[in-house]
Chain A
Amino acid sequence: MKLTLGPVLFNWPTLAWSDFYARIADEAPVDRVVVGEVVCSKRSPFRLEAAGAVVERLERGGKEVVIAALALPTLRREIAEIVAAAEGVHPMEIGDVTALAAVAGQPHVIGPMFNVYNEATLSELAALGAMTVCLPPELPMSSVSVLGKAQASPELEVFAFGRAPLAVAARCYHARAHGLMKDACRYVCENDLDGLEVETLDGQPFLAVNGVQTLASGVTVLSGEVADLRAANVARLRLSPQTCDMVAVAQSFRDLIDGRIDAAGQLARIAALQPPGKIVNGYLHARPGSSHIPAAS
């Protein structure tokens, strides 16, 4: 089983962003790294200069690099950027049909925000050149198992660590929370490196807002489930960057997959890294995504 480091979903300062990838390149036992801005095109210009060096550094560290496309491109400029990136040397990870149209016919990766729920969709995507499909976070194990057995299947990836992306919108909630317009947002999202906490009126943590994206407040951590996923032909686990030590997160998953630690040990190691929210795993168990189902022992 391989590990994929998903794109940084949050608006990290460019310097912190480059430093993060430098450390990943040198230390993290991940096989593939997805780099690029998924949430808001207004953030990209700052990173563009640093991106070349980051990609080069990652490749020098032996990582396979995939370039992420915007999840909800609407502006002409945003679409043109995707079309241009599709012509580059790196495969792209796409999050919607606009980007799919740009990469159709060449090898590409389907990201977790693309709707893949069944084997018929999987075979449509295979025909278009998908090499890996990261399944939507809400998919239950019963579906993952069926997809793992499907014919002509691209390799499957499952969201295994991080705040799961739940929704995307035209409206920027970060700007809205600060009483600003989207077009004059002052980049307020850069203050919340793991997303802006959204609690219920009773003070219960619930969701996290990241610009136009809404994520779970709970942090998905798959652990006891990993053995079942492997048995179901899942080829990759996706780790989604949060501010906690992602090298250590990746190491714990690598050790679990390689049998150096057991599920309980891995879970304890991740809990000690203080991820930004409560640990959850409900989706794979066909329960609410916000729930945590303890491993049967």
Chain B
Amino acid sequence: MADFDTAPTLFAGHRRGHLPPSVARAIGVLPRLPLELAAYVMMRRILAQNPRLIARLGAHASKRFAIDPLDCPFVFLIEPSADQPRLRVLDSIEPGQWDARIAGAMIVLAGLLEGTYDGDALFFSRDLTIEGDTAAVVALRNAIEDSDLDPGQLSGLPNRLAPLVSTSVHTLARQLRSLLGAPAGAAPSGTDLR
């Protein structure tokens, strides 16, 4: 086993990678609308910068995905769809509202999006839970894998600042992962070793 039993914990009862309850409570009082808006803008940017993403999803593009950060008191409900992508932030969600549900710690879900993590590995180690339409989840995962979701590019800042943003986000994320005892990510792709 790689690091299943040996992950550091912040405190008794802490599930690895999860935000401490105090932080979660603080996030919980944030107004939903700005969060929803920010997430929506990010999604539109991802779709605009990766025109092949929707094509890869095929028929699964019209499915409803519940993205559930277990350590945060809200859930994202996303319908990628080519013509009218939708994203909502909800306090809670019922099984009838989604076709597929992907749940895990916020830092884990974020790491999955920017390619730090291997979805299969997270699922095997139970850091990630999936429910519902498994094929839709697989399609979404593969479509995201083919996309380049670089934090700098997605920040909307001028191109010359993008690499700086990316580096900072990666560093911050790495420190956060380590602080929260989240599973280790893959090393960033390096130079040609041939």
A–B interface present (Cβ within 8 A): no
Residues of A participating in the B interface, judged by any CB pair closer than 8 Å: none
Residues of B participating in the A interface, judged by any CB pair closer than 8 Å: none
